[in-house]
Amino acid sequence: MSHAPEPGALTDDHAPSRPNGHRPGRALPRPEAAPPLRPAPHPAGGPVPPVWPGSPQPLGARFHTGPGGVAGTNFALWAGGAEAVEVCLFDDEGRETRRPLAELTHEIWHGFLPGVRPGQRYGYRVHGRWDPWTGARWNPAKLLLDPYARAVDGEFTLPPEVYGHVRDWPQQQTADTVRDERDSAPYVPKGIVLDGPVGPDGRDDWDDDRRPKTPWTDSVIYELHVRGFTMRHPGIPERLRGTYAGLAHPAATDHLKRLGVTAVELLPVHQFAHEDHLLRRGLRNYWGYNSVGYFAPHAGYAASGTRGQQVGEFKGMVRALHAAGIEVLLDVVYNHTAEADERGPTLSLRGIDNRGYYRLAPNDPRRYADYTGCGNTLHVVQPHVLRLITDSLRYWVQEMGVDGFRFDLAAALARSMHDVDMLSPFLAVIAQDPVLRRVKLIAEPWDVGSGGYQVGAFPPLWTEWNDRYRDTVRDFWRGAAPDVRDLGYRLSGSSDLYAWGGRRPYASVNFVTAHDGFTLRDLVSYERKHNAANGEGNRDGTDDNRSWNCGTEGETDDPSVRALRHRQLRNLLTTLLLSTGVPMLVAGDEMGRTQGGNNNAYCQDGEVSWVDWSLLDDPEWAGLCALVSKLVRLRRAHPVLRRKAFFSGRPQGAEGLRDLAWFHARGEEMTEADWYAPGTTLGMYLSGRDIPQRDAHGRPVRDDSFLLLLRAEDEAGVFTLPGPEWGAGYEVVVDTSSDSVEDPGPVYPASTPLPLPARAALLLKAHP
């Protein structure tokens, strides 16, 4: 359906454009225009550099030796519908030199500029029609960031000049149709020319033998924010806090090693911009899910400089983490960009070719198809968009050394023309790519569009964030009594979701908390969100927290409430780290970090979000970190806790015992009817006798057997231990009713009625 025009302002969609970009009809007043755009003199005052034809490959700005042995930089930009492209060079005083890229090969504008060396600041101006009604939004007054820029100098502050339209036009309903002629160059960051990669194949020195290459089954993921993790760490030098170098510091890596995690999952580190509505409220985008440069490490996290130094600093961080045996996974946002909807700024792709990069509304191309909730959606079906994403992914693997990716709103990337399609071009290209199919790939398996919830649907190459695990475990421990069958599936690897097409239990990334939502401590301290500091009237953030405040909202001095909350934290962490699948922890949860009940701290770049390292020295919280370390060690030591294949639930081996058995409190195996009833007490027996896997020498893997007991009741009870055929005795290894992590505990004979504390989890090792 076409947009209804304002009287006298907009006319028929098929009318020709005027030279000023407006359609026939009553002339619209225009803002004060900047002087006409003309090539500026050479910044150094010398001759304007010539432009040689250069090459359309590779895209971006690449310094190398050109014809005749002359050093310079090749610039190449895909801009399919553009009429002309200028590359703009800036000196340290901001003076600009514009040179046309006259060569056009397969919609790529390119040219070689002799003498342009690494460290040069640059951007593009792209000429074309201004016709928002058909999706054309070219505006050469706006300096555009190269989508392939590998380093960015400066920060987007979003004054009115960076908008392709007149942002503050009096008639807001038509503001996006009025072209703004003011020059944006003084107000936007610039790309930086870098030296080329080491080898002709595009690789740096990332030998696979030097990567940790942790198998999925052995992985324990730790989600962290580069800035928030390091800003308050007393062992990191102050000048390095909040930076890649800070995360590389031994004080940071030593903590990760003590915990035993095998991978860090970094919240977005692609160059991003802050949203206008946040800047107007004096806030900033803290999480970084607002990307604008898919090849550039975010300059704000660099201690060493922003003229290319951030690239070396990022690589140094990766090397330090690899040396500690820790993989680096990136949370990447390829589903949308920081340019938002038609009212957003013109920073890069919109000004290069709006119709070529974004999904536009089929019946009104002035608007955007928004499957992300962020105003726009990248048009991944388009070959050049797909190339941008896959080139970026390969770059981060081959040249920056990362080991995998978590894809934000991955269902948006899997859409073909409209619907989510697991045979989509994006998924097909990833599956056959010789670089990308070898790294860790994690999907956030949903978006906000129709049919966007796709948990369990991604193909075998992928793992997924399993929000059904999160919800079920939260419900169980808050006393919402989910049906036992659902809890059983989540604890044992979610075979109901993933046991198809060759998928394995590690397809499920299990988590109880993530960056989005309550911290673990807040999950047991608040039932309502407290987001007033975000400036949105507490309307932002979910109301479906599935939390329990243990009887008091917020912080309290009541010792009984505090003790119960600590026990609940131990219960949640124990359940997470002993469940089959890949556990994901969130930075600070192991030491009781709180956000004061804020469940949407995306704009809180301060103490609300930063990890409070003083908690490690607080006796009340130190034991929690010790428990996490112990549980991670248990996982690493016992393959039955990190199986490569799903349990069968059928009798195995000579003893004829199940590899996975479920018991109710009477010490008897559960019946079919028991599975469909709500439950607050459950016993899960994991047999180590017949694990269906072999070691590196082909020998069968054998392990201890364990009994995990979970009780979410407010009162203590009794659990009769399984009979002697399952184990002659049972030794307590973990007991969350106590804050002590010492073991071994007592050994109880088979068939013994075991006192089971209220709201507690016990792990017992079965003695043969």
Cite the active site residues: 408, 444
705-711/760-767 β-pairing: antiparallel
Tokens of 357: 């990069």
- How far apart are alpha carbons 360 and 651 in whole angstroms? 56
Closest of 295, 281, 383 to residue 602, by C-alpha: 281
Phi, psi of 748 (to 5 degrees): -110, 135
Could you tell me the two tokens for 213? 């290459």
CB 271 within 8 A of CB 110: no
Cross-strand bridge partners of residue 763 = 708, 734
Instruction: Judge residue 453's burial from the number of C-beta atoms within 10 Å of its C-beta, 0-12 exposed, 13-18 middle, 19 or more buried.
Output: middle
DSSP collapsed to 3 states, 169-224: CCCHHHHHHCECCCCCHHHCCEEECECCCCCCCCCCCCCHHHCCCCCHHHCCEEEE
**Ramachandran assignment for 650, one of left (phi > 0), alpha (psi -120 to 50 degrees), beta (any other):** beta
Locate tokens 């999952």: which residue? Answer: 265
**Cis amide bond preceding 639, omega within 30:** no
* H or E stretch covering 478: helix 467-478
- CA dihedral over 23, 24, 26, 32, signed as positive or negative: positive
d(CA 207, CA 13): 56
Q: Which residues of 587-596 are buried (b: 16+ CB within 10 A; e: fewer)?
A: bbbbbbbbbb
Kindly write down the DSSP assignment for every residue of 581-601, as one continuous string.
Answer: SEEEEETTGGGT---TT-S-G
Give the integer Cα–Cα distance in Å for 284 and 279: 6
* Residue 425, SS3 per DSSP: helix
CB 598 within 8 A of CB 534: yes
The rounded distance, in Å, linking the Cα atoms of 288 and 61 is 25
The pairing of strands 291-297 and 364-368 is unpaired
How many residues appear in the chain?
A: 768
Strands in 71-78's sheet, in edge-to-edge order, are: 60-65, 71-78, 108-114, 103-105
Tokens of 191: 């790309």
What 3-state class would DSSP assign to 569? helix
User: Which residues 6+ apart lie within 8 Å of 633 measured at CB?
Assistant: 260
Please tell me the distance from the alpha carbon of residue 305 to that of residue 629, in angstroms, as a whole number.
36
**Residue 190 token pair:** 């610039």
**Structural tokens at position 99:** 């040179």
Give the Cα separation of 334 and 358 in Å (integer). Answer: 12
| CB contact at 8 A, 457 and 423 | no
Beta-strand runs (E) in 567-688: 582-586, 651-652, 657-658, 660-663, 681-686
Q: Give which of 301, 300, 287, 298 is closest to 243, Cα–Cα.
A: 301
Rounded to whole angstroms, the Cα distance separating 565 from 572 reads 11
For residues 718, 723, 724, 730, the Cα torsion angle rounded to the nearest 10 degrees is -30
Contact 39, 48 (CB under 8 A): yes
Which H, E and C letters describe 603-628, residue by residue? HCCCCCCCCCHHHHHCHHHHHHHHHH
